[in-house]
Structure 1
Amino acid sequence: MDWKIRIKQLILLISYVTLALGITFFFLVYVLNWTLPGIMVTMVYSGISSYMIFIYIVPSWVILKYHLKGNKRLSLIVVGICGLLVVTSILPAISTPSAIWGAESQFNDLYGEDYRELDTKNMLKEPYSIWRQFAGISIKDSEIEVEEKIEYYDNGDDTFYFDYYTPKDGDGPYPAIINIHGGAWFLGNRGPINNVAFSKYIAAQGYVVFDIQYGLCDIDEAADTADLELVADVLLEMLKNYPELREKVVPQYEKNYMIQDQVANIGKFTQFLANNSEEYEADIDNVFIMGRSAGAHMAGVVGCGYYNSKFSGVFDPNLTVRGVVLYYPPTDIKKMYDAMADGSLGAYPKLAPAFEDFLDDGDMSDEQLEKEYKKYSAAYLIQDDNKVPPIIVVHGNLDRIVPYEEQGLGFYEIAQEEDRDCILVTIPFAGHAFDIINAQSPGWQISTYYIERFLALEVE
């Protein structure tokens, strides 16, 4: 067979496979997003969907030109499929006005004239730019300094570290951001897997960022309790056989820091920061707590509990927390547990026992466990009669890992009822961890635009 014919057949095969994958993506994102494959695809979808337009158009053109030429019926089907995939791919981008309108309305209501007169010289000029999505955001390493793996606490068994981002030029002290990584409480670390792009960007804006470790729940025990079988076995085997991967992903391997311990360790960092603020040019009168996913759960507890007597002695009183930044946060972990247990989270019913073990060492009564769930849930802490700093929540409305309606929107509604200063930025057609994959996506741009303004407005 002529080699040109072989190449043509290969190109046609690739084109058909591409469209088939596109149809699969469509169903996973818009129909089956409660399943584990759907959840995983939705996490990356909003970050890559705009680029997929070209991936769909080119193979459709190839099929129409070289295989279905003259076959009107099948050609119309291919055109229809291509049109559906293209339209759904641009939804995250073309729906940005709704996210922007909602955020603008809330900022104007909360800050009024201060927001409209804010000096935005060094900030993003607009919430979303399609040019920026393809060209990227310029973050010059010459504008910042990064120091990695600095010790802040040693408990005798483990040493905890942080990475430090600071402006290269200028005079400190600078407002400080304590950045808490995510990872389902038993995975994750400071550094590359905690959105370094944002840490660098915001440091260049005149902040010092402390990207901290805080200890992890025992991944081995969690996997055994959850009975995750093949997935857990593969993950655990990789961690055992690849120590470099283990150090990056599970720095406190085979240790068990429960949620109470994790919050206490973050408290140790607040003490370290208070004692070393001059060395790190940190303005401890302007401190912000930030986190993503499980890290946002921690940030919510720390931020909403900082001035709460329930955490007396845990956090350093010399720090003044000006604001809290929560990306896709679990704000009510009792509801998270209940959703896992009854299967309404779809992919997670087997995780419920492991999740309960993150709080309960096995000695708690049901009543005690209920109290712990509430103590370590921002949705309950904001209802207590104590000072709570202003909060901004960023959440994708297709999130099925930390459900948007229940955790992000639900928290915002409670904050409104309690007359707390809270802003909710809803990212349309975005799943969990939407900003991790692509630092140019609509969600990354919109969230960064409003977060940098929130920070600037709250600095005193």
Structure 2
Amino acid sequence: MSLRKLGPILSQHVEHYFLISLFFNVSLFVVNFVYSLIFQNRLLGLILGIIFLVTVFLNLGAVILSDTYIKRYKKGRLGKWTDVLSYVYLIYLLLNTTFFIMLQFEIISWILNQIFFHILIGFSILYIYLNYTLRKKEEGAEILFKSKGIKALKITLSLFCGLVFFLMFFLLWGMLTGGPPLVGIGTGSIMNWTSGFFLFIIPTITILFLKLFTKRNHPKLRAGFLLLGIIFTSILTLPFTSVPFMTLDADQQFEKYFGEDWNNFDAEVEEKFTQFHWFLGEYYFGIPKIESNNFEVERDLLYSKTDEYELRYDAYIPKKDDLLGEDATIIYIHGGGWTEGDKNAHPELLRYLACQGYYIYDIQYRLADFSFASELAGIDTEISIGAPADEDLVGDWTIDDLISDIANFTRFLHLNNEFGANLKNVYFMGGSAGGYLAGMASFCFNEGYWNFSPWLNITGSILFFPPNDAEHFFYDLGIFYEKGFIPGDKTPKEDPDLYKKLTPSESVDKDDPPCLIFHGTSDSLVPYENSETIHKEMVDHEVPCILVKGYFGAHGHTEAAQHLSIARYYMERFLYLTK
């Protein structure tokens, strides 16, 4: 059947399409309103996310249909208003997407975002209803760009569309390849948080551009922009379409170590777990803030004091005895390239685990006095790769000093267990540089070199994108070696055993506790191969080790909403199965 014959047939069903789109828009309004009232209902959040995505693409399809099939009906005032509203809808959809992204970074409040979002739904319902009415009345006309003001607006919007596509090229390059380390951190981190939003920003920009340029006058330009829009949108689906493969692989690893029934729990346990790997509602509408009476937080408690520095920690203390964690202990170590960062870097994750009954100790340690980011960039820069550091902890310290701080805390905890944590079930957890220190503590705990407390029983470790190759990070990068970060200023040739001792995977043996690792495949700062090496060593020594591969995830990918929900799903099960 030719396209010329197919057109009238499809045109007959345009009216039904608008009715379906109108139904989804109203459903989105109702479900979002109910979700707002019962914010903690995660099944409803999953449904809301699906309805939201379907509705957005239905509305974008309505804009295309409005221009393609009912141009001949647009001759009256109603038709002009409908065409104007199509531009308003596309522009406001882009603006509202910006608000969604700002919500992820907590720049605007959840309530303010809801106000903007309901305005968007109102626009959508009005626009779809006008199109439906227009189709019934068969009236309307295209608005032509004749006035100087409209022409200037057309030029402005065209330049905006082109700029977005230009930036999109670099962002997708970072998402797929990781890019150079410092650039990759920027582009990769942006895509960690925003790929799901760009998934409908790019189609919106594409449709807006096609509306601005007529097919008669700019056929090649329209075709090229449309092709780029399709390619970009297809690439943007990869982080989402890869989720089933990621979770299937992780599920199989859990089954290997914990049996076929690893994910079957008693009803009272099951109801306290995250029920789904991933929640579209949380991704687009934000992760609920955890306000619970299940725990309390004691901050800035002292665990080590000298004439040169003071080291402190925050304690998350469960209040109930019938929680999943059963008072097990988690020692959390922040990241920051061994040169930056501080405790309280990820409070929501720690609050979530404290709600489940785990004692969390979020600790400080000493930091080296130089800029890791400057070395990556090759120039002197103020760019930070971690949270601001406590300046009192920054000095000419070595990696030995940092590991010794972690060991010192274990001895302190044994002697000062004032909150009553279960020290027979202790986990080390950390991300990036903190993941390295957590790995060193977990794998070297019984070796005696750093004098960890022998009275703590290490049950497991959870590592987020941990560095592993000491020779690469502490010698090949240059700045760590030049600043005396390695004890004795030895090179790998002069003292290969020292660098092996400082490489977590080299300390793995059959007596080490189980380990859960999260790492993104597009991590340019700490390449994915670092975690692969740890995983291989543990598997070779027949120690349970589960590596959750975050496809297209850059450094810090589990901090973004879509990856955080997956991390929580596996973390809580790993902790419960190993304690």
TM range, smaller chain: 0.7 to 0.9
Distance 1:316 1:211 in 2: 18
SS of residue paired to 1:30: helix
Q: Is the 8 A contact 2:290 2:348 kept in 1?
A: no
Matches within 5 A, 1:353-368: 353-355=479-481, 357=483, 359-364=485-490
1:37 to 175, 183, 186: 183
| 1:140 to partner: Cα distance | 2.4
Matches within 5 A, 1:412-451: 412-436=535-559, 438=560, 440-441=561-562, 443-451=563-571
Alpha-carbon spacing, 1:32–1:74, altered in 2? closer, same or farther (3 Å):
farther
Amino acid at match of 2:195: S
- 1:121 equivalent in alignment to 2:121: no
Equivalent position of 1:240 in the other structure? none
Distance 1:369 1:44 in 2: 40
Equivalent position of 1:287 in the other structure? 426
CA displacement, residues 115-162 of structure 1 (integer Å, 9 cap, x when unaligned): 133333211111123233223433422344233222111122101111
Q: Is the 8 A contact 2:516 2:547 kept in 1?
A: yes
Q: Is the 8 A contact 2:436 2:504 kept in 1?
A: yes
SS of residue paired to 1:289: strand
CA displacement, residues 148-203 of structure 1 (integer Å, 9 cap, x when unaligned): 22211112210111122233544686111111011111111111xx2222111111
Equivalent position of 1:176 in the other structure? 329
Residue segments in structure 1 that go unaligned for 5+ positions in a row: 237-244, 342-350
| 1:434 to partner: Cα distance | 0.8
Equivalent position of 2:512 in the other structure? 388
2:222 to 75, 78, 89: 75
Distance 2:570 2:538 in 1: 19
Equivalent position of 1:346 in the other structure? none
1:147 to 298, 308, 312: 298
- If you compute each CA radius of gyration, which structure gives the higher value, 1 or 2? 2
Alpha-carbon spacing, 1:162–1:63, altered in 2? closer, same or farther (3 Å):
same
2:239 to 71, 82, 92: 92
Amino acid at match of 1:148: R
Amino acid at match of 1:174: D
**Higher RCO by CA contacts (8 Å cutoff, separation 6 or greater):** 1
Equivalent position of 1:270 in the other structure? 410
- 1:135 equivalent in alignment to 2:285: yes
Distance 1:32 1:154 in 2: 41
1:255 to 392, 395, 403: 395
Distance 1:231 1:353 in 2: 12
Report the aligned-residue RMSD.
Answer: 2.7
SS of residue paired to 1:151: strand
TM-score of the superposed pair, with normalisation by structure 1: 0.85
Equivalent position of 2:133 in the other structure? none
Q: Is the 8 A contact 2:328 2:421 kept in 1?
A: yes
Residue segments in structure 2 that go unaligned for 5+ positions in a row: 1-146
Equivalent position of 2:248 in the other structure? 101
TM-score of the superposed pair, with normalisation by structure 2: 0.68
- 1:231 equivalent in alignment to 2:354: no
Matches within 5 A, 1:292-331: 292-311=431-450, 314-331=451-468
Equivalent position of 1:399 in the other structure? 523
Distance 2:331 2:533 in 1: 25
Distance 1:40 1:3 in 2: 37
SS of residue paired to 2:328: strand
Amino acid at match of 1:132: E
Amino acid at match of 1:375: K
Equivalent position of 1:345 in the other structure? none
Aligned residues: 426
Identify, as 1 or 2, the structure richer in helix: 2
Amino acid at match of 1:48: T
CA displacement, residues 250-292 of structure 1 (integer Å, 9 cap, x when unaligned): 4435512211011111111112211222x32311111100010
Distance 1:190 1:27 in 2: 33
Alpha-carbon spacing, 1:227–1:64, altered in 2? closer, same or farther (3 Å):
closer
Alpha-carbon spacing, 1:363–1:17, altered in 2? closer, same or farther (3 Å):
closer
Which stretch of the first structure deviates more once superposed, 171-180 or 316-325? Answer: 171-180
SS of residue paired to 2:255: helix
| 1:458 to partner: Cα distance | 1.0
| 1:72 to partner: Cα distance | 2.9
| 1:81 to partner: Cα distance | 0.9
| 1:29 to partner: Cα distance | 3.0
Equivalent position of 2:578 in the other structure? 458
Distance 1:361 1:382 in 2: 22
